[in-house]
Structure 1
Amino acid sequence: MAGAGPVTETVEAPNKVKAFLRLVMIEHSVFALPFAYVAALTAMRTEGRSVQWLTLLVITIAMVAARTVAMAANRIIDRRIDAQNPRTAQRELVTGALSVRSAWVGLVVALVVFLASAAWLGWLCLVLSPIALFFLTIYSYAKRFTDFPQAFLGLAQAIAPLGAWIGVTGHWSWAAFVLGLAVGTWIGGFDLIYACQDVEVDRRIGVRSVPVRFGIAASLRASTVVHVVTVALYVWFGAMTGYGWLWWAGMAFTAAVLAYEHAIVRADDLSRVNRAFFTANGVIGIVLFLFALADLVFRQDLTW
């Protein structure tokens, strides 16, 4: 990569576990995990109408472990790029708060946990796990060979609901596929917004993205279109699976939050990108899950 230099290596912080958890931003599991729960609980409704608590726990472990693998790989692969960007220059592998070796150890531990969880959920989950890992890690390389790395991020995130459904039922589901596409377009769409922050730096160091190739204004317009598709896919999923009025209330809320997200970010004012990215999108995942859960409880579709 043009202009890439050696990453600073300093004495590693005493608490490697905390540094690793900061590195992978473990709290951001909130974005995709709620939709894994929606898929899992919907599947349980079709598979006997009772909650399988142990299965939900293993799905949680698998999803968090898979995301940890992806984030650790991203930070290791991109550490020299991160060192050249003021926004990311304080990440743990850049400053030396965590060594590359320790990051690899954390990645391998998360990988073992993920594969073990996939195996517990069934042979199909285990067989498909390498495909999931491929999409979860390719995003880090996508910015080097395509102007559309957000598409690869969306594909990676789409895996969560489909994997959760297969973990419950042991077979493919078109409904889960539609939900996965909804999650993928949702996350890919707001990454189009998030990437606008780094346009100038990315152009200088040779990182590719939609904002770099087409400009900030075009990227924001594309994000709006993608999020319209997201809402349509959530509606489709609700219709396919027979959700009731509470799901549709959650959909109305989701559409309103997405509209707010796009209203507060403009091509000439990116100061509220973090509010749109972290706050608004964190709310969407949690609230839509709660509406789906309330619908299942209210209609007594599951035995708890």
Structure 2
Amino acid sequence: MRKIFKKINDYGVLVMFSHTIFSLSFALISMLLAGEGKLKPMVIFWILVAFMGARTGANALNRVIDAEIDARNPRTATRQLPQGLMNKKEILIFVAICFGIMVFAAWKLNTICLILSPIALFLMIIYSYTKRFTWMCHLVLGVTSAAAPVGAWLAVTGKISLIPLVMGAANTLWVAGFDIIYGAQDYDFDTKNGIHSIPARFGVENALKISSVFHILAVIFLFIVGVLSPELGIIYYIGLSINIVLFIIQHKMISADNLKNVKIASYSINQVISIVFLLSGLIDCLI
């Protein structure tokens, strides 16, 4: 039993399970807005299954694809694959199972989700390679994350609409923005090893400015989501106001000369932002 729990913990660490909230919050709010209070339990179930399969498989695959890069980077050399604590074959089998579950869940939802599932798979696979040839890798990650709210809407309605596209734009810019902050700490390694990123391409100071612009645009898109959605009201806007303050704190606590709080700024604060967004949206949708 102890070995089973250890293996579960190993995979939780591998796929950064605690970061699930980043896209889950957008998926759930999109699902609720699409359902207009009339969601079927099995639709909710299969949306969650599809989300977890996609998200878990994508993160595990990322670790395999980046194993050699991680081994060279002092910051990531202690991860499980570089340390030999897990092997690639085992993880790739796990990835195949996760992606298979995602496609099966898409089939159970509706035809359009099944037809579009290869696009989602492509994004989840290609993202990990983009840092090898383009500094726009952060935006590719954002677009991949944005598949969650767009996919959830399609799962409920079977058709696309302006609201999930605007929410997807917000999700894209929000994720890309904090990924730039996270990537700033690897500036020296990336520039020396030919890894592409916005910090490596434009310098850390300019990268942080770009991140700020992305987050300003994300807030604007989230405001538009509120305007377009009759279900969202004062509580949603209170949550958005709280998140604006959190965005400001996030960008005030780091600078090109001071990156010691980069993990708090890029991940910890954004986990709180995700929760605030989820709770404020849930309350407005459900009351």
Instruction: Give TM-score, length-normalised by structure 1.
Output: 0.90
Structure 2 counterpart of 1:90: 78
The equivalent position to 1:268 in structure 2, one of 250, 254, 257, is 257
State the alpha-carbon separation in 1 of the partners of residues 173 and 135 from structure 2: 16
- Is 1:100 paired with 2:88? yes
SS of the aligned residue for 2:129 comes to helix
Does residue 34 (structure 1) correspond to residue 25 (structure 2)? The answer is yes
Q: Which residue pairs with 2:248 in the alignment? A: 259
- Structure 1 counterpart of 2:145, which letter? Q
Structure 1 residue 53: Cα displacement: 2.6
Paired amino acid for 1:253: I
Q: Which residue of the partner structure matches residue 182 of structure 1?
A: 170
1:238-264 Cα offsets, whole Å, 9 max, x none, are 111122111111111111111111011
Q: Work out the CA distance in 2 between the residues paired with 1:170 and 1:71.
A: 27
2:44 is matched with which residue? 56
Corresponding residue for residue 203 of structure 1: 191
Give 5+ residue unaligned stretches, structure 1.
1-12, 299-304
The match for 1:162 among 125, 150, 153 is 150
Match of 1:221 in 2: 209
What is the TM-score with the length of structure 2 in the denominator? 0.95
Match for residue 287 of structure 1 among 276, 280, 283: 276
* Aligned partner of residue 32 in structure 1, secondary structure: helix
Choose the corresponding residue for 1:24, options 9, 12, 15: 15
Instruction: Tell me how far apart the structure 2 counterparts of residues 103 and 21 of structure 1 sit (CA, whole Å).
Output: 12
State the alpha-carbon separation in 1 of the partners of residues 172 and 95 from structure 2. 23
Q: Distance in 1 between matches of 2:194 and 2:129?
A: 13
From 176, 199, 222, the counterpart of 1:234 = 222
Match of 1:92, SS state, is coil
Shift of 1:19: 2.0
Taking the aligned partners of 1:214 and 1:265, their CA distance within structure 2 comes to: 17
Percent identity at matched positions?
37
Contact kept? 1:20, 1:98, Cα under 8 Å: no
Closer/same/farther in 2, CA of residues 16 and 101 from structure 1, 3 Å limit: farther
- For 1:287, the aligned partner's letter is V
The letter for the 2-side match of 1:38 is I
Q: Which range moved further: 55-64 or 151-160?
A: 55-64
Q: Which residue of 2 aligns with 1:116?
A: 104
Q: Secondary structure at the match of 2:185?
A: helix
Give the corresponding residue for 1:248.
237
Residue 119 of structure 2 aligns with which residue?
131
Counterpart amino acid of 1:31?
A: F
Distance 2:243 2:227 in 1: 16
Structure 2 residue identity aligned to 1:186: W
**1:98-128 deviation per Cα after TM superposition (whole angstroms, max 9, x unaligned):** 1111111110110111111111111100110
CA contact (8 A) 1:66 1:110 kept: yes
Alignment of 1:64-75 (within 5 A): 64-75=52-63
Deviation of residue 30 (structure 1)?
1.1
Contact 2:219 2:244 in 1 (8 A): yes
- How far has the Cα of 1:21 moved from its partner? 2.5
Residue ranges of structure 2 left out of the alignment (5+ in a row): none
Partners of 1:136 and 1:89 lie apart in 2 by: 23
AA of the residue aligned to 2:14? L
